Chains A and B, each alone.
Chain A
Amino acid sequence: MRQISLIDVAGGIAVVAVLALAPVFVASNYLTGVLTVCVIYGIWASSWDFMSGLTGRENFGHSLFIGAGAYTSGFMATIWFTNPWYSLPAAVVIAVIFSLIVGFPTLRLRGPYFALAMLSASAILQRLCLIFWEQTGGEEGLYGLDPLIRNPLHYYWFVLAVLVVTVIVLVLLAQSHWGLLLRAIRGDEATCQAAGINVTFYKIASLAISAAFAGLGGALYAHYQLQVSPPLFSVVVSITIIIMVYVGGIGSIYGAAIAAILLTLLTEMLRGFGEYRLWIYTLTLMLILFFLPNGLIAPLWRRMTERFR
């Protein structure tokens, strides 16, 4: 495990500065909107990486927490007409509750079983969303959420600030005693248990933390789109996030966030390629799997900064 050094902090500040200033120099609402989505994906990817990257339990149903958070906002805005700001903490609470409900039975599973259990859980929620269409709006979803902040640029900065806080909190946690334990669980769970570590508690708590940030990201997304719909729960969302983390370098958290931003930008720039877009995306994934099994962003940053340590 590596400690955070001055160069990491400087690099982080530089990246955040570029992200914060980009829409000021290229004043376009379109770019601001795209960047907002990029940054929200960054929150989702880094939150996935905290639980799955550290403990090695690949969660194929992260969209469950994202959808739970987003729908919480949706319900609060369209049914109870509460102040939109209340929906952020509410989304966090609901996502954490979901993570506890799903986590207890599934987290004792290993390898593919956990991945598949999470995948099914998110698919069940998506299906329920369609079955109870009278309450959830079915395929259409819920419309007419209030924006948190009317000015798109200010909203973008707010979301970026949330991402920065997310990454800092998660990286610090990952560097702490906690993160060390989570990595140890990844290495050998039985030995950890034998050493008297309450493995279940750490796994559930890390899933809950991961879910909390995912739910928060979901609520931010809902208030950006001003609507929520069932695709938020879909496996596609979970898988996109996993690809992002893979490209960023599993277990690095900051790499996951940066990869998420870059890949979301890439998909947006490839829009001109129309139908071939997903192919380029898939090809990128295949190349990275073959030639960069440790991912791209985090290993690259480590190599670049080696000399300054």
Chain B
Amino acid sequence: MLEILIYGAVSSAIYAMLAVGFTLIFGVARILNLAHGAFYALGAYAAYVFTSLLNLPLFIAAPLAVLLVAGFGVLMERFLVRPLRASQLAVLMITLAVSLAVEQALFITFGSEYRNVPSFVADKISIGGVDIGGQRLLALVAGILVLLTLWLFIQRTRLGAAILAVSQDPEAAQYMGIPTNRIFSIVMAISAGTAALAGVLVSPFLTVQPTMGLLPMVKAFAIVIVGGLGSIPGSIIASLILGYSETIVAYLVSTSWTELVSLVAVVITLMIRPSGILGRRAAF
């Protein structure tokens, strides 16, 4: 029971890190970013390069990897997505093209074999008789911290208020003197950075491999639909729901059924409440 509670929390935290960035860039800039999984994979590979090839210590490698991917996200938004923002399908296609290009670049540079990233915390920790890898626990703690920081940033700072304003009405925000385009860049940096951080944190215990971004991407999608596109609290609630239901299914049925949980959740949500748990009815 406690096992389910702890492992569920870890998956939920990782999902939340992925989903919050994804929903943020959609909520603010209306960009449905299919390259979100690529950011996650790039984060994991950057961590691998910095630690295993360049022998940097982890506490330098991790922030470096996050910054690098955030920069990549900003460049993608500026030069590829922004010129095409008028058409929803074109944005979908260009971010898809980016994710294919990244996947293929990783494949060409590193090959398809699995890579290993050293753990930040190697020890196992025992909580009430349940053994859990320190790295998983770190991912849980980091996930909670990231979400808290993000929440404080958006609720308490001027920049956060500007982001909220743009998400409500970009045009009106622009008339009020908010530099909308710069806000898009900042939000893209946050979105790509959190996805990369999730990649860095899970890389020691998951397989680092070129196609690793696809599944988290589908998960982020699922969470964001269940929670409501553009709603951050919704994504967090949905992350908890999916993280826990997957863990429960894995324990009670089998791990091969876990993949279905999120997909079925998507279909049920779309049938009952298309805008998600906390989503507003958007006019598409």
- A115: which B residues are within 8 A, CB to CB? 92
- B132: which A residues are within 8 A, CB to CB? none
Q: A127 vs B256: C-alpha distance in the bound complex, in angstroms?
A: 8
- A283: which B residues are within 8 A, CB to CB? 101
Q: A110 vs B229: C-alpha distance in the bound complex, in angstroms?
A: 13
Q: A83-91, A156-164, A258-266, A271-279: which one contacts chain B?
A: A271-279
Q: A246 in the interface, Cβ–Cβ < 8 Å?
A: yes
Q: Is A58 within 8 A of B101, CB to CB?
A: no
Q: Is A117 within 8 A of B284, CB to CB?
A: no
Q: Is A124 within 8 A of B264, CB to CB?
A: yes
Q: Is A282 within 8 A of B256, CB to CB?
A: no
User: In A81-138, which residues have CB < 8 Å from any B CB?
Assistant: 105-106, 108-113, 115-117, 119-121, 123-124, 127-128, 130-131
Q: A269 vs B256: C-alpha distance in the bound complex, in angstroms?
A: 38
Instruction: Choose one: A58, A113, A127, A130; the contact of B89 (CB below 8 Å).
Output: A58
Instruction: Choose one: B80, B83, B259, B284; the contact of A127 (CB below 8 Å).
Output: B259
- A285: which B residues are within 8 A, CB to CB? 93, 97
| A112-B284, A116-B221, A278-B104 known; A121+B84 contact, CB < 8 A | no
Q: Is B266 within 8 A of A120, CB to CB?
A: yes
CB distance from B8 to the nearest CB of A (A): 21
Q: A120 vs B221: C-alpha distance in the bound complex, in angstroms?
A: 10
At the interface, is chain B mostly helix, strand, loop or mixed?
Answer: helix
Return the CB mask of B242-275 against A: 1 if under 8 Å, else 0: 0000000000000011011001101100110010
Q: A243 in the interface, Cβ–Cβ < 8 Å?
A: yes
Q: Is B222 within 8 A of A120, CB to CB?
A: yes
Q: A293 in the interface, Cβ–Cβ < 8 Å?
A: yes
Q: Is A289 within 8 A of B97, CB to CB?
A: yes
Q: A120 vs B87: C-alpha distance in the bound complex, in angstroms?
A: 23
Q: Is B93 within 8 A of A131, CB to CB?
A: no
Q: Is A109 within 8 A of B274, CB to CB?
A: yes
Q: A80 in the interface, Cβ–Cβ < 8 Å?
A: no
- B256: which A residues are within 8 A, CB to CB? 130-131
B32: nearest residue on chain A (CB-CB)? A112
- A120: which B residues are within 8 A, CB to CB? 218, 221-222, 263, 266-267
Instruction: Choose one: A117, A246, A278; the contact of B270 (CB below 8 Å).
Output: A117
CB distance from A157 to the nearest CB of B (A): 34
CB distance from B253 to the nearest CB of A (A): 10
Q: A108 vs B259: C-alpha distance in the bound complex, in angstroms?
A: 26
Q: Is A116 within 8 A of B84, CB to CB?
A: no
- A110: which B residues are within 8 A, CB to CB? 284
User: In A195-254, which residues have CB < 8 Å from any B CB?
Assistant: 239, 242-243, 246, 250
Q: Is A113 within 8 A of B263, CB to CB?
A: no
- B266: which A residues are within 8 A, CB to CB? 116-117, 120
Q: Is A278 within 8 A of B100, CB to CB?
A: yes
Q: Is A111 within 8 A of B267, CB to CB?
A: no
User: In B72-126, which residues have CB < 8 Å from any A CB?
Assistant: 80, 83-84, 87-90, 92-94, 96-97, 100-101, 104-105, 107-108
Q: Is A127 within 8 A of B263, CB to CB?
A: yes
- B107: which A residues are within 8 A, CB to CB? 275
| A109-B274, A110-B284 known; A282+B101 contact, CB < 8 A | yes
Q: A308 in the interface, Cβ–Cβ < 8 Å?
A: no
- B225: which A residues are within 8 A, CB to CB? 113, 116
A130: nearest residue on chain B (CB-CB)? B256
Q: Is B270 within 8 A of A111, CB to CB?
A: no
- A290: which B residues are within 8 A, CB to CB? 83-84
- B100: which A residues are within 8 A, CB to CB? 278, 281-282
- A127: which B residues are within 8 A, CB to CB? 259-260, 263
Q: Which of B93, B222, B284 has the most CB of A within 10 A?
A: B93
Q: A281 vs B266: C-alpha distance in the bound complex, in angstroms?
A: 31
Q: A289 vs B107: C-alpha distance in the bound complex, in angstroms?
A: 24
A108: nearest residue on chain B (CB-CB)? B274
Q: A143 vs B214: C-alpha distance in the bound complex, in angstroms?
A: 28
CB distance from A271 to the nearest CB of B (A): 15
CB distance from B223 to the nearest CB of A (A): 12
Q: A286 in the interface, Cβ–Cβ < 8 Å?
A: yes
Q: A115 vs B225: C-alpha distance in the bound complex, in angstroms?
A: 12
| A111-B284, A131-B260 known; A282+B88 contact, CB < 8 A | no
A-B contact pairs, 27 of them (CB 8 A): A105-B270, A113-B229, A113-B270, A113-B274, A113-B284, A116-B225, A120-B218, A120-B221, A120-B222, A120-B263, A120-B266, A123-B259, A123-B263, A124-B263, A124-B264, A124-B267, A127-B259, A131-B257, A239-B96, A242-B93, A243-B93, A281-B100, A282-B100, A282-B104, A285-B97, A289-B84, A289-B90
List the 3 closest pairs (A to B, CB-CB), nearest first: A111-B284, A110-B284, A120-B266
Apart from A105-B271, A285-B93, what 9 extra A-B contacts exist at CB < 8 Å? A116-B270, A120-B221, A121-B263, A127-B260, A131-B260, A239-B96, A243-B93, A275-B107, A281-B100
